[in-house]
Structure 1
Amino acid sequence: MTVEAAKTVGFVAFHYPHPEHFEDFVGRAHQVGDSLRAAPGCLSAEVWATPDGDAVVTTGRFESEEAFRAAFAAARGLGETVAFDERELKPRQIFTLLPR
């Protein structure tokens, strides 16, 4: 593993919107992804969905822990777009990732 790779930080998040809010949630996730990609140090931010349509899965990769934190601080400024609310069936599962 290179020194550069050792500095990177990633995340994967599983979101569980109610079926009637699925497409709206995908749109919200893309808004957050746009915000993250615009942040300095963001290497990638993507929106995925499980084949069964049960979950929206978001992923991202950042140059450093500091870039990761700053990007998410900026994304929280989107307000309702990132807030957990009644449109989701259950709490999100968010995992921070480190390269190995």
Structure 2
Amino acid sequence: MSFGFVAFHYPKPEYVEEFIGRCRQVREVLTSQSGFLRAEVWVTPEGDAVVTTGEFESPQAFQAAFAAVTRESGAVVAFDEREVKPRQVHTLLSR
């Protein structure tokens, strides 16, 4: 059973491209983490949301990988003033 997530991010229009770049930086760090399987960055056709998806071997691998993102890259993965509204993050378990 693997562990996944889908996150909907709502950057202000002037920050969409910057936000996509930040998501790609996070993905680069994740790729070197134990238990990481894959991650993707998507944008809605309207350009009003950036959607990130990811898959890990376990919830523990997910937690450790995101701890490494902050530790290794200094990337902030929390909501900030560049976003229109709070993120919606959903975690998933494969069956």
Query: What is the TM-score with the length of structure 2 in the denominator?
Result: 0.91
Q: CA shift at 1:80, angstroms?
A: 4.6
Query: SS of 1:72's equivalent?
Result: helix
2:6 aligned with 1:12, yes or no?
Answer: yes
Query: Is residue 68 of structure 1 aligned with residue 51 of structure 2?
Result: no
- Mapping of 1:21-32 within 5 angstroms? 21-32=15-26
User: Could you list the runs of 5+ residues in structure 2 that have no partner in the other structure?
Assistant: none
Whichever structure has more helix as a proportion of its residues is: 1
Which entry has the higher C-alpha Rg, 1 or 2? Answer: 1
Gaps of 5+ in 1: 1-5
Whichever residue aligns with residue 25 of structure 1, its letter is F
Percent identity between matched residues is 63
Q: Residue 86 of structure 2 is aligned with which of 63, 66, 91?
A: 91
Check whether the contact 1:16–1:91 (CA below 8 A) recurs between aligned residues: yes
TM-score, normalized by length of structure 1? 0.87
Question: Are the equivalent residues in 2 in contact too, given 1:32–1:81 (CA < 8 A)?
Answer: no
User: What are the Cα deviations for residues 60-95 of structure 1, in whole angstroms up to 9, with x where unaligned?
Assistant: 000112111100111233445423211000000011
Instruction: Tell me, in whole angstroms, the C-alpha distance in 2 between the residues paired with 1:85 and 1:79.
Output: 15
